[in-house]
A and B are shown apart, each in its own frame.
Chain A
Amino acid sequence: MGSPDAYTKAEAYVITHVLFYASDLGQRAPLGLTVRDIERLDKAVNQLLGMYISARNWDLTAELISSSHCLRRSSLFVSFAWDCIRGSQHSDGAVPGPRYQQVKEIEHSVHDAPIVEACYHTTLVCAIAALISSYAACA
């Protein structure tokens, strides 16, 4: 799989989405992956999760939390990742996305389209991650 530090963000999203499809968003064990594939993906997801927490990218952090559950593995960083997401969530429930700071600097108010746009996807994937985590907890 190569070194995670060489992955672009787009490649990190590819990994997460392959796992979402292979596991039907965590509803079943991932299909089409060998035990070795799962081992390697587990390692890569764990490394990428730590890296994107460090980069304060809550969008990929949430995607990778979901991926870890889709693999039916427990990453060392999942619990801390949730702490970080909780800490960054706004009082209205929005979770700031990677472009939020940049958009905010242009002085939009919280209900302006660019701010909503900068939080929309991240808030959605955090909600999905919470759902997948709750399935995993029930299972």
Chain B
Amino acid sequence: MCYFYGMKIALAQIAPHLGNLEKNWDLHQEAAAKARQAQADLLVFPELSLTGYKLRDLVESVAQDPERSPRFRELMALSRDLALVVGFIEERGEEKGIFYNSAAFLAEGRIVHIHRKVFLPTFGMFEEARFWAPGNHFGTFRSPFGQAGMMICRDFLHLNAGYLLFAGGAEMMITISAAPGRGLSGEKGFGSSRMWELMGESLSFFTTSAQIYCNRAGIEDGMTFAGGSFVFSPKGALLAQAPYFEEALLFAELDPADVRKARQTWPWKRDDKPEVTLNSLQRILLRHDD
């Protein structure tokens, strides 16, 4: 178990430039400078922060192999004293022409973990599976701040994704997002923002883990990204939230020792029965009747 106090998280609710790696790299460096100045320990960027979201056929021109790309060498250097989560299009040398919407966690000068988005929204205004391939795994990893897991945008809205990270021991879940605002009404902000907040609050409380959600701002092809990035504590308390729609750099102080306290109060983790989940899923998948 890792003990550390007053961990400072920075969420860069930026508006990436569509298909422009150079301009986006500038945005990353600017945010990193500010985060470092504020003595942040972790800086999280939104989904596809290095490339912009609605890429369509631009995807091949912005794809990067994290093992070989010069940009990743620069990111690794940047992560020596500031842990980073960035969003990018992943294409490995050994898997040419196959593109993933990925999140990289970098710390202490190296790539610690890469998550490929599993659930690709392809309906209505979304066309992700048309242009990139799905990931197939939700895994946790040892971060400088304890056991962590990552999700990308739509992953977060699937209950099984959050559950798998919980079962894998995550004390902290980081979700990077490019969620557009949908549903203008008389209420404050977009109706769809509530959906993310509801899941953030629920997961934080029922998995007793910190929920770090970084959404983006800006407009692409008339699609307005809703912002509203947030951090919930492992006790289910909202620690900080960025404004809707606008660009912002949000800071939140998190005490990961809260995981221990929360899990003594609410022993969901201790009493979880992953073997029952596994057995039940096998029955469901094999269509066994009781």
Q: Do A and B bind each other?
A: no
Which residues of A approach B to under 8 Å, CB–CB? none
Which residues of B approach A to under 8 Å, CB–CB? none
